[in-house]
Structure formats: C-alpha cells, structure tokens
Structure 1
Amino acid sequence: MPKPSLYDMNLADLETLMRGWGQPAFRARQIYRQLYVNLAANPAAMTDLPLTLRDRLSAETSIGGLRLVRTQTSDDGLTRKALFALPDGVVVETVLMIYADRATACVSTQAGCAMGCVFCATGKLGLLRNLSPGEIVEQALWASRELRAWQGTGDRGQGTGDRGQGTDRAAGGPQDDGSRWVADAPAPVQQLGRISNLVFMGMGEPLANYDRWWESVQRLHDPQGLNMGARSMTVSTVGLAQGIRRLAGEGLPINLAISLHAPDDALRSALMPINDRFPIGDLLDAAREYIDTTGRRVSFEYVLLQGQNDQPHQALALAKLLRGHTADGANRGVPLLCHVNLIPWNPVPGAPLGRSEHARVRAFQQVLVDYGVACTVRVERGVEIAAACGQLAGANDER
C-alpha cells in the first residue's frame, strides 16, 4: 500500500496524526507551514522539527504522490508544462504561465474527462479517475516551486524573439505559422515571489469531482497555508447546472467560467454532449442564480471553429441570448452580468475541425461588442507544446 500523502491531510488531520504519534499539536502547524509556505518537498528540509519526527514522517508518510515525468517549455520559457505520473500509472498535466506582472497555474482535477467535447483532447481519453484533494493541491505547489526556481536563475523573461519556438527537454516543437493570437514580445518579468492566479482549467471537469475539488480550494485558500485569494481562483465548467448552483452557495467568491461554444441547443449538443442533460436554457438559469446570489460576473468561454460556430448570425444570436432574449427571440429585458472570452481553437490530433481565421474572429467579436456584450480574445500560450486550452491529453512516451 502507498504511504498516506501529507497533501491529502488538512490541518485537523495532521493534528490527529501528531496526537497519535504522541507529539504536541503545534508540530502539525509546523508541518503545515513547511508544506504550504516553505514549499518543503522532503521531511529532511523541515529543520524546525526534531530529527526523530522527520525520520518517522519519511518512513510512514509521503509528500505527495505525483512523479514528474517531463517538463516542456515554450514562449521563451514563460510557459511551462509538467507531465505527472500518479501512483496507479495514470498521468495528468499542469501548466505554469508567467507574465510580466503575474503568474498563473492551470491545474487538473481529473485524469481524463467524461464530458466528450469534440474539440478537446482530454475528452478523447474518457474519464480515468478523479484526483484527490492532495493531488490537485500538489500541482499548485509544483507551480509555486517552479516559479521560485525559475526566478532564482536571474532570468526575468527578457525574451529572445523566438516566441513561436517550442522546446521540450527531449525534442523541439514546431515554429509558429503566423496564425496564432499572441501578445507582443514579453516585457521584463517582475520578481513575483508567488503564484498570483490559479485556474481549474486543466484536465477534467472540476464540478464532476466537486467534493475533492472544493477541499483543494479551501486548502489553497487557507491563510495559514498557500493563502491564495478566492478572487484569484477561477473554475471552468462545461455547464453542470447543479454544480453551478452549489457553488453559488459557497462562502468563497471564486470566479466562474462556463464553456458555452454555441448559441443554440442543436449545435451545442453536437459539440458538447452534456448539453443533452443541461440545455442552454437550464444552463443560463443556473448562471443567473449564481449571479443573483453572489453578485459576481460570469465568464462564458467560446471556442471558435471555422464555419461551424463563428458566423455573424451566430454571433448575433449569442449576443441576444446574453442580453436577455429567449430562444424564441422574445426579449426578457434582463441582460446577464457576463463577459465572453473568445478562444480560437487549438489543434487537437484527429479532430476534423478547423481554426477560425483572424478576420472571422474579429468580425464575431465586433458583433458582440456592438450589441453591448463585453468580449475579449484569449491570447494563446503554449500551443507548440500542446499546453493551450483544450490540448491537454497526458501524452507520455515513457509508459
């Protein structure tokens, strides 16, 4: 049997463990601080603990269960993707994106995904299993260590100009073909010190693993631990209405992003099978309930596919939908407090889909803006190493 992971224990669990070992309760707080503040990866590094306790921790527990298989980088090293193997052999991926003024970690909540969205590489895997709270938390802590180590090199992202060059510690990635939506050459990166944003947008559907995912949120938010601000965390969902309503009642105001990708049920069901269970009307009702309960804006993610969901009349239908019109065209007069994030589709091997051209993306965006819907186009990171939105598939040549 594998040793129990300290990352799967909250502070109360650690206190119970210490009492069972005949240790005072404050030892649990010391361990907790070492794990989440000092980012200790080995009990030997916990030098404020007695040697006998460090030895017992090493013998009877583990600090996490993720084994780093490979790290890939792109965007002059500012995008970094890790492939992790779990103790049972399944793999997950985590992405760290470093910007001039912030660092964002994108973590997975499941190995694989059961939702089956046709444009997503993860969905092709099917659901392998849910991740534990500790396995989710551990990814955020890896990103924190990776950022700390990267900043320790003295490289602040001045850039080499090769923003389209993807690099792998085993092999290089392809050159940019000029079709990407990229930011200007990166500005010098500040000394950030810590992860500033955390998005649950990696492999899996977070709300389908709700209890374990929410425990990880609480752990990462804990002021005695990593102390991530609730408003610095975002969860992305395909639209599990019951999970959205449950999230509305939670005490932490984390951000909500909903994958929409179509303005009508027929098209959305063809792209996202989950729409058969939660059609657009039900989904928007849940979003309204979330907005009314929390007072917070919802983001709608919309992947643009050439000739399928990127035409002007579809942009108009989407705009009317979000501005309060019903499916039959009637105006309810209650616009949603929302923002649309347009995402040019990132290539997925074997998917018979096309990427919307720049002109179509801009035209689609302009229709939304003209209709009063806040809308931006997502800047791409990590396409060359399959680290961008919808590309995470846990490819592991070593298995």
Structure 2
Amino acid sequence: MTSTLLSSISSPDLKSLRTFVRAKIIPASREHDEQETFPLEIFRMLHAQGWLQAFLPQEFGGTQATTADMIEIMREIAYGSPGITTSIAANLLAYVPIIGHALPEIRESVCRDFLERFSLSSFCFTEPDHGSDVLRIHTTATRTEDGYVLNGKKCFVTNGNFAERFVVVARLVPRSGIELHPREAFALFLVSGDSAGVARGAPYRKLGHRDSNTTDIFLDQVKVPLNHLIGNEGEGLKIAFESIQRSRTLLSASAVGLALRAYDLSCDYVNSRSLYDKLLMEQPAIRNALVQMRTDIEASWQLTKVAAANWDSGDRSFAPSSMAKLYCGQMAVRVSGQALELFGGWGYTSEFAIEKVCRDAKLYDLAEGPTFVQQTILARELLKDYDKAAHAKKPDIRTAPVSSRKAA
C-alpha cells in the first residue's frame, strides 16, 4: 500500500524495515508461533536498528517519532508479525506516562537506559474480575513515610514475563479523614521488575499472537519509592486513558498491516490456482472480493491516520482513536476471513500462512476494549457533542408544520 508520509521517517528507511520484516520477521514469527515462544532475538535486532526506541524524546538522544511516524512502523512490522507489534505497543503504552508525567530525573534515567540498552516494559491495568470496568480496580497503594506499598493482581500483562519495569494502576487507600472521588481514587506507579514481592505467572496459551508474551503479575507488599509516583495522586485513570488512547491508534495500524498481509497472500494464491481451466484471479467474483478487501484496508488506514494526526496535534478526545480501533479491529477479522475463504479448505490448515493470519486477527477486535466497549465510549462522546450543539435549541424534526399539511 502506498501512502503519503505524515512524518519525518524517510521512504528509504521504511523500505529497509520492509526488507527486514520479510527476510527475518516473517520466518521467525511462524517458528515462534508454532513453538509458542518469545522472539527476543528479533526485538534485539529491532532495537539495534533504532525502531523500538524511535519514540524517545530528542533531549535524551531519541528521534522523537510522532504518532504518525509510529503507525508507519507498526504497519510494516505487523505485516510480518502482529504479535511482535503487540509487544511493541505494550512497551510504548508503559513509556507514554513516564515520558509525559514522571519526575524529570526518572524520565531521563528510564529513557536513556532504553536508548542504550534493550529492555521491555509492561503496562499493568486489567484485573481478573472487572475487565473494562476500571472503577472496580482492587490493586491498592497504601501511602507510607517514604513511598507506597502495592498489593494486588493484574492479568493480560503483555511482556510480563520479560519486563524489567511495570507501570501499575492502583487504587489509593484513603488516609484518615480524606474522602476520594471515585475517579480520583487512583494513581500510577513505576515498579521495578526485580522488586521484592513482584511475582510473574505462567505465560498464557493463546489463540493467536503466540509470539507475544502475556501473563499475570502479582504484587505482594511491593514497596515503591515516592519518586516513582507517575503524575499526581488522583490522576491515575486520566494518565492511563491518555496512553491507551494512543495505543489504540497503534493497534489500528497493526490491524492494517495484518490485513495487507492477508490481501497479498490472497492475490498470490488466486494467481496460482485454477478453477474450470481458468485462473481464480480471472473469476469476476474473486476480483470483486479482492477489490472490496483492498477498499476496506484503505478506509481503515485513513481512519488510523486521522487518529494519529489528532494525537500529534494535542487533541486528546477519545473519538478518533476509538473509531479507528473499532473499525480496524472489525476490518482485520473481516478481511482475513475473506482471504481464508479464497484459499478454500487449504486455508483452514497450517500448510498456508493465512491460517495464522486469521488466528492473529481476532485480537484486534478484543484488545484494549472489545467492540461493545468502543461503541459505548463513542456513544458517550459523540452524543455528548450532539447534546451540546442541539439541546440549546431543539430541532423541529417534522418536515413541515402540521397546520400547513394538506388533508389527504
């Protein structure tokens, strides 16, 4: 797919990444998918090439890639491995709060360390018994003289078995005489992975994205220094949602990359198979299906670019990223499913790569808020905007006043 870059990343750089994806990532992803192992060697190579740390601020030696830059990177890598981009997105999900809200000395230390040395981080938000109902978070943070003590369990922690640091959302235990508003009862903390009391569960066995690591994280009387509070007390949800908003845009770009792979695999297959002495590619129904797939992909990419541009402009409204996430997640499932149908029965076997693509696609419909959650977010925000514009003066929905209508 060709597109005009909205960013400072040059086309030669993207071509170099594209070559690396096809030469190294695609075969490695298939191998790690079959073995359900984590491709650390690929992450180290991506770090050595500068792709993993591209988002770091220039003041710390990074290139300060914008969101428009990052969606280009994510799309290219997801073409070869959606699982690897899931881990990259989770790593960035942890860094966005640190870069934007941690104390200057913490921000500089963490960023410079990642610039010079490969490591992974995790964002710890979801818990076993509440899912997307964030106000029910049970992990607690109790204030002490020199910091906080954290207790709780987090699930669906991407990179959790390999992360050196965690960004944790926790509920503040009210101090004597202080009553907290429900949405101001949370804070964000930077937790070292080797802290006493941190334990990691076994890796999840998953339908897809098997080359991405997911696990549970247990926090038992984990001491956190005062300067590892990210932002202020009461800002935990606000900061977390800002980071998730950007991450949804990156996942949307990854969904586009996966769909492009499904499209290319389909084109290659129908160009090599015949039916009734005629190439499948020459069948009108097949050609129409391919056109619809490509149109769906392009529409998704445009939504993703709008969401990226909004974030880069400073707009923190949820609608653009949620729209992109909603549409791109559904599109990835739809396009990969159409591609599998073009393969017929062979598409259902692991003999062809489209089988893995279809397994990987479903995550984009689920991660960081499934379809109904995105619809709820959008309904709340879009109807709020409508209310502001329309409630001042109620519109007359009739086409004409009753008095002016002619009798039948």
Report TM bin, short chain: under 0.3
What is the TM-score of this pair, normalised by structure 1?
0.22
Larger strand fraction of residues: 1
What is the TM-score of this pair, normalised by structure 2?
0.21
Structure with greater Cα Rg: 2
